[in-house]
Amino acid sequence: MSLLFTVTNKVVTPTDQTLLIPPFKQIWERDESKDKMYAIEDFSYIEFMASIQKSNPYSGYSEDQRPEKIIKDIITRAEWEQDDLIHQGIIKLKEFQAEASVTYNYYMAAKSAAEKMQHFFINFSMADVNPRTGALVHKPKDITSALNDTARVLENLNALREKVDNEVFEAVKNKGQKIISPFANPDSLK
């Protein structure tokens, strides 16, 4: 489920709400192409950069890797660069998620910590020694213990992500404090 656009009959269109909110409104208006392809690309980039929902195929990438992957897969303009409106859009979408989910900020902090641990495991050396004592800096027992804890950390991280997904979904679903029936015609909600 996207927060910025919908897909109907294989056609991507922004939601009515998206077009009312700056900077999304300005991104839409600056695209003078007939089919608004560039605005849709920009919205897609924003959505894929900011959304932590399960439906986002790029949410598993680190903050450093994600832009390059999305640009390669989504953006068709050769000289495209993230500008101030795109940056504002990413911040706005993250803000929406944070306000819709009390768990969001905790999840983001836990994800950041897990990525730092991953970076540590990739880059540490068992050969590092304390220059004063000559003892190993990283004891094998400590490393194996940390690796054994990794499965629990990842399970907890996935549980937090699921909780955030549910909280954001409920906030979107409860449009205007009115619960949307699962049997409702989506066109009647506009």
6 pLDDT band, cuts 50/70/90, is confident
Question: Would you state the pLDDT for residue 165?
Answer: 80
- Mind listing the pLDDT tens digit for each residue in 83-110? 999 999 999 998 888 887 788 888 888 9
26 pLDDT band, cuts 50/70/90, is very high
187 pLDDT band, cuts 50/70/90, is low
Tokens 């990842």 belong to which residue?
154
119 versus 99: the higher-pLDDT residue is: 119
On average, the pLDDT of the chain sits at 85
Is the pLDDT score of 182 beyond 60? no
Question: Would you state the pLDDT for residue 10?
Answer: 74
Is the pLDDT score of 175 beyond 60? no
Is the pLDDT score of 45 beyond 70? yes
Mean pLDDT of 78-84: 95
Question: Would you state the pLDDT for residue 12?
Answer: 79
Q: Which two tokens stand for residue 78?
A: 């050769």
Mean pLDDT of 2-21: 83
